[in-house]
A and B are shown apart, each in its own frame.
Chain A
Amino acid sequence: MKEAFKEVPSIWTTGWTDILKTGTWRSAIPIYQKRLAPCHCACPVDGEIPTWIMLARRQLYREAWSALVANNPFPAITGRICHHPCEGACNRVEYDGAVAINALEQYIGDLALSEGWTLPQLRVELDQRIAVIGGGPAGLSCAYQLRRLGYKVTIFESRPELGGILRYGIPRYRLSKEILDGELKRLVALGIEAKLNHQVKSGDLSGLEEEYSAVFLALGAQSSKTIPQFSVDNNRVFKGLDFLERVNRGEAPQLGKQVIVIGGGSVALDVAGTVRRLGSQVKVLALESRESLPAQPDELAESLEEGVEIVAGVMVQKVSLSPDQISLDCVRVTLDETSPAGVLRPIQRSGTEFSVSATDVILAVGQDAVLTGWDRVVNVGQSLIRVDANLETNRPGVFAGGDVTPAERFVSTAIGQGKKAAISIDKYLTKQTSKGYSTKETEVLEDVVSYKEINTFYFPQENRETKGTVMVEQRLQNFAELKIGFSAQQTQFQAERCFSCGNCVECDNCFYFCPDMAVVKDSSLEEHYRILDQYCKGCGSCVQECPRGAVVLKEETER
């Protein structure tokens, strides 16, 4: 009896395994995600740093500049004076030194100026008019962002020229006039109206509100604080900001041989450096200890090189004036650590009294906003205009930002606030809650890429370079810029040090390390790659081998 046989498969193979869906094995799948880099997180203007550095790396400098000016209209300026918190946050710090982000920004900003690149044409013209009070960094930034959105903008500036602290407060050896003028000219060329020599008083506000759809107050903090021991009526005693402004206007006062500067911050050191270039000796007396001076470390190093004597942890007790000199009785102090933030409480150390004398004294102990009369029209507290999280004052349609509000006193912070205010104004005027603004607040803060997510195998150790400085002897001769920007070669080399944290650069590692070939290159996608759902086993090799944390593994709860 013959058995009925079923169809017998050959002992030779008849097909391939790609019909088997091994994707059913996994419990987590890789997701390509543009994640927040720590530099971006730290940047006060919300700059997309890994993006513009990647473009620079590819020598697409025009595109890199376009990415920069989306958030900050003057990279050549910030590339010189920004306090670069990005570098402090940079993941490469823990490896072999931060990426020289600030120097890269300067190179690109300078290149834009020398190449004559212009900001992109507006795509839309709106009818509404916005008034920006103050032509400093906050006001300029706000005006720029609003103009980009199509609004008509008028800047009211009390001084003869735009720039605010950029023109009148920062020494030329940090930011040359040519660079400043170049950056501002391009901005104004977008069609921003500037009313110069036009001081706006608090009483003008209601009138402005009728004529304009919104108002942005960027009044700055322009009044130097004084110390009770000093009488400012004396012509040998100067206020820091006034002094710097006079020098920048070409009206430097005649100083004696020995100048004393009171204060420990950037303004104090700027004053000291300026004094050196005017030919006098200078001592800086600061309340803070050397380690906790508010000035930037590189500013301090430059000052010391230039022969500035820094005397830290001292307080002036008594001032004696005589025809040709000023005598200061000082005592050494330590600061009370239990005092609240922002409040300096010096504790005198008895027995440490000493005296110093000077021909001139310059006070650089902080700045206050001048808000006479403004407290009657908007909410003012502790000498600052009060604003909510959207930078709106208590008066609808009136916004404020920069040093006139409780913000960190950095130029880049002011620029960032100007941008933020512009967005708030736009939302206020269009009554829309979201228009797809990409700000870092929309991303989850836990998702910042950390150093341990960087696969350092793919980055050979290379030293960080810093900007060169002109030799000291030469520096003191004039007010030419003391820092030397990067060359093209240095820029390229240093741009290559950027890990590009959380931002895919299409290195293809994920593609190469998949044992199941479940990563596919797809140039039509923004993410550049696609995971094959039917094959991926969820091992996470692609995530581990991504040098920059641009792929993460997400648990799949519903399958």
Chain B
Amino acid sequence: MNEGNNRILVNGNHAVAYGVRLAQPKVVPIYPITPQTPIVEKISEFQAAGEMVVELMTAESEHSAMAACITASLTGVRVFTATASQGLMLMHEMLHYASGARAPIVMFNVNRTIGSPWGFWPDQTDSLAQRDTGWIQYYCEHGQESLDTVLQAYRVAEKVMLPAMVMHEAFYVSHALDIVEVPAQEVVDQYLPAFNPLHRLDPEIGESWGNTVSQEMFYRHRRDLGLAMESVIDVAQKADAEWQELSSRGYGIIEEYRCEGAELVIATMGSMVGTARDAVDNLRKEGVSIGLLKVKLFRPFPTEAVRQALMGVPKVMVLDRNFAPGTGGFLHQELKAALYGMDRGPAVHGYLTGVGGTNISPTNIATLAREAMSTQPVVSSVWKG
């Protein structure tokens, strides 16, 4: 199957670094911020040891780091950067700029609480608040998935020419040690063709980019961007299937876990998925008919796949480790929108669990599930610790 693979014990962040090394980006602008710093530190070590041939640019801010990512990408090379929380916030202007530029950047964001007040805790609000920037978004459960998803992200991004961000949470994944299989370079080389964009900043071509455009041009550009984003559903599924062939690891864009005949399906993203798996197993042992829907690809939202998965399911309990005032939980809101108008669609509970990084155990989830099964949902998200 996979000869010459390395199985190593690393934390989630370092796993990402190994993935990046395999993707061979040529320019990596970096700026430190807890808790993503080990990613870029590891990459720096790889470069210093000669294991990566890459231009490391120590920018003076994340905004500048993203600005450099965009231009390096438009000059025709593969790029990478990583950030979290405040850094991602600072980049916000440039995130829009990147998708408008159709630059297939891959960025890793370690989900961390956003100030104020200060905190370093796992919370997905930082990346979810960027859901309108035109970036593809993936949420990962563990280090191995993060490594594999970085590779898939390059494949998808470079196919549709949109940037992609891959997430895992602070500390629960980023700093947790796990056994990770590092695929062989040859395998990755098969999977990721060389990056050679048709349009680029090149004196041999001579085209320029960035002029003010007319309203008509703007409208059409946004529509084209939208079409590209829509196509990600298919492209991501295919990319995942192909990765499965090469590495025996596939994740799908969603995952249905023990949903057969379930009366309640728990829907969640990120590390909470791992905790919920345990809760589902425990509840099933007790004879409770519970399932789990993991949403991995969040942008574009996998509407069709989710509708299919939840067809005929009486209830859904969304667990959001994120919150926006006036919106409530992001997944709660997106899921409701996706399910709207379905015949035989489920009733949806939305619970805010783990916002700010509070610890949610399988027992907590089990309790919440029982409660959800026996109550009628309310429209807005409910605070549940």
- Segment with Cβ contacts to B, from A3-11, A112-120, A335-343: A3-11
Residues of B within 8 A of A13 (CB): 207-209, 211
Q: List 24 A-B contacts (CB under 8 A).
A: A5-B220, A6-B220, A8-B217, A8-B220, A8-B221, A8-B224, A9-B217, A10-B199, A10-B207, A11-B100, A11-B102, A11-B209, A11-B213, A11-B217, A11-B221, A12-B199, A12-B207, A12-B208, A12-B209, A13-B207, A13-B208, A13-B209, A13-B211, A14-B207
- A5-27 vs B, CB cutoff 8 Å, 1 = contact: the mask equals 11011111110000000000000
In the complex formed, the residue of A with least CB distance to B213 is A11
- Among A5, A8, A9, A11, which residue has the most Cβ atoms of chain B within 10 A? A11
How many Å lie between the Cα of A154 and that of B175 in the bound state? 118
In the complex formed, the residue of B with least CB distance to A16 is B206
Which bucket holds chain B's interface residue count?
10 to 19
Residues of B within 8 A of A14 (CB): 207
In the complex formed, the residue of A with least CB distance to B199 is A12
Closest 6 CB pairs of A and B: A12-B207, A13-B208, A8-B220, A12-B199, A13-B207, A12-B209
How many Å lie between the Cα of A224 and that of B351 in the bound state? 128
How many Å lie between the Cα of A14 and that of B221 in the bound state? 16
Measured CB to CB, the closest approach of chain B to A6, in angstroms, equals: 8
In the complex formed, the residue of B with least CB distance to A9 is B217
Q: Which residues 57-110 in A have Cβ within 8 Å of B in the complex?
A: none
Which bucket holds chain A's interface residue count?
under 10
- B216-229 vs A, CB cutoff 8 Å, 1 = contact: the mask equals 01001100100000
Measured CB to CB, the closest approach of chain A to B200, in angstroms, equals: 9
Residues of A within 8 A of B208 (CB): 12-13
Residues of B within 8 A of A11 (CB): 100, 102, 209, 213, 217, 221
Residues of B within 8 A of A9 (CB): 217
Residues of B within 8 A of A5 (CB): 220
Q: Which residues 192-209 in B have Cβ within 8 Å of A in the complex?
A: 199, 207-209
Taking A11-B102, A11-B217, A13-B207 as given, write out 8 further A-B residue pairs in contact, using a Cβ cutoff of 8 Å, ordered by the A residue number: A8-B217, A8-B221, A11-B209, A11-B221, A12-B199, A12-B208, A13-B209, A14-B207
Give A residues with C-beta under 8 Å from B: 5-6, 8-14
How many Å lie between the Cα of A311 and that of B100 in the bound state? 94
How many Å lie between the Cα of A133 and that of B148 in the bound state? 114
- Among A6, A10, A12, which residue has the most Cβ atoms of chain B within 10 A? A12
Q: Which residues 10-43 in B have Cβ within 8 Å of A in the complex?
A: none
Residues of A within 8 A of B221 (CB): 8, 11
In the complex formed, the residue of B with least CB distance to A13 is B208
Q: Which residues 215-253 in B have Cβ within 8 Å of A in the complex?
A: 217, 220-221, 224
Measured CB to CB, the closest approach of chain A to B71, in angstroms, equals: 14
- Among A6, A8, A14, which residue has the most Cβ atoms of chain B within 10 A? A8
How many Å lie between the Cα of A6 and that of B217 in the bound state? 11
Measured CB to CB, the closest approach of chain B to A511, in angstroms, equals: 26
Residues of A within 8 A of B224 (CB): 8
In the complex formed, the residue of A with least CB distance to B210 is A11
Measured CB to CB, the closest approach of chain B to A234, in angstroms, equals: 98
How many Å lie between the Cα of A14 and that of B207 in the bound state? 7
Measured CB to CB, the closest approach of chain B to A446, in angstroms, equals: 47
Q: Which residues 85-123 in B have Cβ within 8 Å of A in the complex?
A: 100, 102
Residues of B within 8 A of A6 (CB): 220
Measured CB to CB, the closest approach of chain B to A2, in angstroms, equals: 11
How many Å lie between the Cα of A395 and that of B307 in the bound state? 119
In the complex formed, the residue of A with least CB distance to B74 is A12
In the complex formed, the residue of B with least CB distance to A5 is B220
How many Å lie between the Cα of A66 and that of B207 in the bound state? 56
In the complex formed, the residue of B with least CB distance to A14 is B207
- Among B102, B207, B211, which residue has the most Cβ atoms of chain A within 10 A? B207
In the complex formed, the residue of B with least CB distance to A12 is B207
Residues of B within 8 A of A10 (CB): 199, 207
Measured CB to CB, the closest approach of chain A to B199, in angstroms, equals: 5
Measured CB to CB, the closest approach of chain B to A176, in angstroms, equals: 71
Residues of A within 8 A of B207 (CB): 10, 12-14
In the complex formed, the residue of A with least CB distance to B207 is A12
Measured CB to CB, the closest approach of chain B to A13, in angstroms, equals: 4
Measured CB to CB, the closest approach of chain A to B320, in angstroms, equals: 36
Residues of A within 8 A of B211 (CB): 13
Measured CB to CB, the closest approach of chain B to A343, in angstroms, equals: 79
How many Å lie between the Cα of A6 and that of B219 in the bound state? 12
Measured CB to CB, the closest approach of chain B to A66, in angstroms, equals: 52
How many Å lie between the Cα of A5 and that of B219 in the bound state? 12
Measured CB to CB, the closest approach of chain A to B2, in angstroms, equals: 41
Residues of B within 8 A of A8 (CB): 217, 220-221, 224
Measured CB to CB, the closest approach of chain A to B96, in angstroms, equals: 14
How many Å lie between the Cα of A13 and that of B206 in the bound state? 9
How many Å lie between the Cα of A6 and that of B224 in the bound state? 12
How many Å lie between the Cα of A11 and that of B228 in the bound state? 15
Measured CB to CB, the closest approach of chain A to B116, in angstroms, equals: 37
Measured CB to CB, the closest approach of chain B to A487, in angstroms, equals: 55
Residues of A within 8 A of B217 (CB): 8-9, 11
How many Å lie between the Cα of A404 and that of B244 in the bound state? 118
How many Å lie between the Cα of A503 and that of B213 in the bound state? 47
Measured CB to CB, the closest approach of chain B to A16, in angstroms, equals: 9
How many Å lie between the Cα of A9 and that of B217 in the bound state? 7
Residues of A within 8 A of B102 (CB): 11
Residues of A within 8 A of B199 (CB): 10, 12
How many Å lie between the Cα of A98 and that of B136 in the bound state? 78
Residues of A within 8 A of B220 (CB): 5-6, 8
Measured CB to CB, the closest approach of chain A to B221, in angstroms, equals: 6
How many Å lie between the Cα of A5 and that of B207 in the bound state? 24
How many Å lie between the Cα of A10 and that of B102 in the bound state? 12
In the complex formed, the residue of A with least CB distance to B217 is A9
Residues of A within 8 A of B209 (CB): 11-13
How many Å lie between the Cα of A13 and that of B200 in the bound state? 11
Residues of B within 8 A of A12 (CB): 199, 207-209
In the complex formed, the residue of A with least CB distance to B220 is A8
How many Å lie between the Cα of A13 and that of B211 in the bound state? 8
How many Å lie between the Cα of A8 and that of B219 in the bound state? 10
In the complex formed, the residue of A with least CB distance to B224 is A8
How many Å lie between the Cα of A331 and that of B33 in the bound state? 108
How many Å lie between the Cα of A8 and that of B224 in the bound state? 10
How many Å lie between the Cα of A14 and that of B220 in the bound state? 17
In the complex formed, the residue of B with least CB distance to A8 is B220
- Among A5, A6, A9, which residue has the most Cβ atoms of chain B within 10 A? A9
How many Å lie between the Cα of A11 and that of B199 in the bound state? 10
Residues of A within 8 A of B100 (CB): 11
In the complex formed, the residue of A with least CB distance to B205 is A12
Measured CB to CB, the closest approach of chain A to B42, in angstroms, equals: 36
